[in-house]
Copies of this chain bind each other. A is one copy, B any other.
Amino acid sequence: MAENGERKGEVIKAIPEPTLRRLPIYYQYLKRMHDEKQFEYISCTRIGNDLNVLPIQVRKDLQVADAVGKPKLGYGVTELIHTIEDFLGWNNTTEAYLVGVGNLGSALLGYQGFREYGLNIVAAFDVDEKKVGTEVSGKKVLHAAKLPEMIRRMSIKIGILTVPASSAQQQADAMVKAGIHAIWNFSPVKINVPPGIIVQHENLASSLVVLSKKLALSLNAKA
């Protein structure tokens, strides 16, 4: 009970993060396969080959998501899609607010994909009076000053932070004070929050480093 929350018989185990990160990739792939309606069943071997993951790895990940397959055939494509949706909780949508309607914020507001993944960005906030009152991708832009009240009123749990470095901490503080539970931080600085608040920091520099080291290794190998 301490580490593994439980509710109505549904247990949330501590899932390996790498597995968690791969599941959406399988999902996206399966959706494409399903649209192309090429087969009713699909095997780990095929998924692995197509996605450049070891088949055994795929099977283990799917086992974690409680998928059940049939020997010689594989997994039913439609069933597998639903299994993953259920497992990731994409059937009950979570609502979120976004703060900072710059280029990045607008890009996220316009990304239709999120709804598919159980996230619904309800509204956006900014301090710029020129943006307040407008709509971006069908989402209303409100003044950032209204954020705390709105978080409380709608009991929003996730805040998406797409503001410049200079105001990131300040906006995060406002969110926390209003009772937010999790912050998805796209700003280029680390933000400090009290214990218990979840922060997921999207750090492009980290990804870039991984890419360029791989590149350096590859170019060196050829030389």
Contacts and interface: CB of A to CB of B under 8 A. Distances in A.
Nearest to A201: B25
A24 B117 contact: no
A69 B5 CA distance: 42
B24 A203 contact: yes
Contacts of A182: 211-212, 214-215, 218
Contact of A218 (B23, B198, B209): B198
Interface string A1-21: 000011100001011010011
Given A6-B220, A21-B206, A104-B104, A28 B212 contact: no
A202 B23 CA distance: 14
B214 A200 contact: yes
Interface in A154-209: 157-158, 181-182, 184, 188-190, 196, 198, 200, 202-209
Interface string A72-107: 000000000000000011000010000000111011
Interface in A11-69: 12, 14-15, 17, 20-25, 27-29, 32, 51
Sort A-B residue pairs by CB-CB distance and give the 6 closest, nearest first: A5-B220, A103-B107, A104-B107, A24-B205, A21-B206, A200-B211
Given A88-B213, A181-B215, 17 more contacts: A5-B223, A12-B220, A20-B210, A22-B206, A29-B190, A94-B215, A117-B209, A119-B212, A157-B215, A157-B219, A158-B212, A158-B215, A181-B219, A182-B218, A184-B207, A200-B210, A200-B211
Interface of A: 5-7, 12, 14-15, 17, 20-25, 27-29, 32, 51, 88-89, 94, 102-104, 106-108, 110-111, 113-114, 117-119, 157-158, 181-182, 184, 188-190, 196, 198, 200, 202-221, 223
